[in-house]
Structure formats: structure tokens, C-alpha cells
Amino acid sequence: MQNFGELRLDRISRHFHTHAALRELDLTIKAGEFISLLGPSGCGKSTALNCIAGLLSLTSGEIRLDGKRIDPLPPEQRGFGMVFQNYALFPHMSVRRNIAFGLEMRGIRRAEVNQRVEKALKLVRLDNLGDRLPGQLSGGQQQRVAIARAAVIEPPLVLMDEPLSNLDAKLRIEMRHEIRRLHNELGLTTIYVTHDQDEALSLSDRIVVMRDGVKRQEGTPEELYQRPATLDVALFMGFRNVLDVNARQDGVGRITAESGAVRLGALGQAPSGPAIAAFRPDDVLLAGEEGQPAHVGTVEYCGRDWLADLTLPDGRTVLMRSPHPLTKGDPIRFTVPPERVRVFAGEEALA
């Protein structure tokens, strides 16, 4: 393993003609970290990853590995491992030869190549399928070959671009565990691109949320899940309920968010005035007399629980996830714990 301390992106930008796919992204990745770039389609995730890999040149900015500039280097001199959405395996070569390819290109002795390939096959649990062609494997198995091929060269950095998006839901969750296990066992440093918040939350040490070519927020999964800094990050993190409110700050970290018949408490700081309150369906709880009145609308059975539309007296809708069955048309009262309500005002509310 070629060790390194940190990879640093310094205000990197990438334009396509006049269109800026990536704008002044700053990011530091420390050895051993698992970082996800998370954001909606077209926000610049793949562009950022391809700039790091050297597959795309920068329009401006610098990339440094332990202080040494690498952005002028071609991809092969950076030597990072890549895993793509479509696996990109050589169809006419056996699994074993696919994995060996990168080592052979580096002129490594045959005996050592064989030994490393066998070890990589075991790691991804494909030791009995080494002689098959990629076309004779399932999607999940092919993706494991792609991961073995990237990891076998023991790269300083592994870059993965939506590697699980072609797999079905069950396999995606299994492979997610596999990817994190390999990251830990091999002591890799990984940058992982996804638009799936669950994937990013479960895999990452740190998440970078992007939108329109810029970084919107960076933090641990817990920080992003609990305290999204802006409304667009909150929406991306599952705060599906969004209400226009009037916020009142009491000066000691408590906010009252009111509009019409609705009154919610929240924690934190927000200037008093027009604002947006956001919360998750999971955090809407049934309450007694002190709760907010509403009527149950459509109810969807989700297996473990129910997802219901609640209609407020002013006609607006709140989504609630309930562990108990609810009946359409019933009057209910609900509450949302103040620590689960985010209030965004002004700039932060820009969606």
C-alpha cells in the first residue's frame, strides 16, 4: 500500500463550455477515511470524482496529495482504483485475468500476481468463480470482480461512482456491507459517489452534500441526519414535511413556529419572522389534547408501519409514519418533538 496522509482539493472547478459542472469545491480527505459525495442527479458528483481520478482536467483549482500537486498528472500516474456503475469488466477475459490485468500492466512478477489475485478473490468471496467470464456472473458478482480489480493494485485511493445502482434492493444492501468490510479490512481510503442518502449514511465517515456544482454541507452522517444546515439538504435527508411559518425566537435557544392553526416548538437559533419549518414523517407522533388537530387522509401500509397524510384545519398536509394503523377520516392530534424540528429562515431556506 502506498501510504499517504491527505488528499486536498483546493477550490477545484470544472466547466463544460460555459456551463460550470463543478464550482470551487474544497475538500480534504485523510488516509483511511470513507467519504461520500451525495446529491441529486446533475449536481457534479461524477465530475468531481473524474477530476480526482484525472479523467477530466480542471478548469481551475489544485489537487494535492501530501502537499504535492497531482492535478497535472495523467490518471495512470495517480494510480487510483476506480469502480464504475457499469462494472467495465473485460468481457473476453476470465474473472481471474480481469483482476490480474492491473498488476500485469505494472510489470509485477507472475508468482506475485497469482498470489495477489487469489487473495483478492477470497476477499470478495469469489474464490470458486475465478475461471468464469463476466457474462456468466450475476450483477452483484460482477461488481465484486470490479471491486477486487480496483483493490488488488492496493491503490492509495479508491474512487467509486454509484457502484450499486444497477443492483436490486436486497443485493444493494448486502454489497453495501461488503464495500465497508473491504474498506476496513484493506485499510483503504475511499471516495464514494451516490444519490442514495441511506447508502451514504450507512457507509460513510463523512458525507459531502452537493447541489448545482457546489458543496452545500459537509459532516458526519449523524450531523447531516440530525442537523441539516439548509432546507435543500434537509429535503435530501428526508425532511419531507415543509411548512411556511412565522418564527419567534425566545433568546435562549427555543423557537416557536406558528402558522394558522399550527404551532410547533423547535430548538436552535433562527431570526424571528417568516421561516420554514421542516420535519420527518417519522417524527410526527400521536398526542393528547395538547396536540395539533388534523384529520387522517390516505393511509399506505408499509409492512412495519403506516404512512399517512394528515390534513390540517387550513387544508395543508403533513406526512406521518405511524407504528399503529390509522383510519381515513378519523380526527387525531399530533405533535413533533422540538429537537426534531428544523427552522430555516432567509438564506438557509433557499431551496
Ligand X SMILES: Nc1ncnc2c1ncn2[C@@H]1O[C@H](COP(=O)(O)OP(=O)(O)OP(=O)(O)O)[C@@H](O)[C@H]1O
Residue 236 CA to residue 288 CA, distance in Å, equals 31
Q: How many residues does the chain have?
A: 351
**For 291, which DSSP code?**
S
Residue 96 CA to residue 107 CA, distance in Å, equals 17
Complex with ligand X: residue 206 or 280, whichever CB lies closer: 206
Complex with ligand X: residue 82 or 121, whichever CB lies closer: 82
**Alpha helices (runs of H) in the chain, residue ranges in sequence order:** 45-53, 75-78, 95-105, 110-123, 139-152, 169-186, 197-203, 221-226, 231-236
When asked if residue 141 is in the footprint of Mg ion (CB under 5 A), the reply is no
Complex with Mg ion: residue 46 or 292, whichever CB lies closer: 46
Considering only residues 46, 189, 194, 204, which one is a binding residue for Mg ion as defined by CB under 5 A?
Answer: 46
Residue 27 CA to residue 169 CA, distance in Å, equals 31
Q: Which residue is nearest to Mg ion (CB)?
A: 46
Shortest Å, Cβ 212 to ligand X: 9
* Residues 180-239 within binding reach of ligand X (CB under 6 A): 195
Residue 110 CA to residue 108 CA, distance in Å, equals 6
Residue 202 CA to residue 210 CA, distance in Å, equals 18
Complex with Mg ion: residue 36 or 259, whichever CB lies closer: 36
Complex with Mg ion: residue 43 or 320, whichever CB lies closer: 43
Complex with ligand X: residue 176 or 195, whichever CB lies closer: 195
Shortest Å, Cβ 86 to Mg ion: 12
Q: What is the dihedral of CA 62, 68, 73, 78, to 10 degrees?
A: -110
Of the listed pieces 16-24, 101-109, 129-137, 141-149, which binds ligand X according to CB under 6 A? 16-24
Three-class SS state of 60: strand
When asked if residue 230 is in the footprint of Mg ion (CB under 5 A), the reply is no
* Residues 29-68 within binding reach of ligand X (CB under 6 A): 39, 41-47
Shortest Å, Cβ 163 to ligand X: 12
Q: Which residues bind ligand X (CB under 6 A)?
A: 16, 19, 21, 39, 41-47, 195
Q: Which residues bind Mg ion (CB under 5 A)?
A: 46
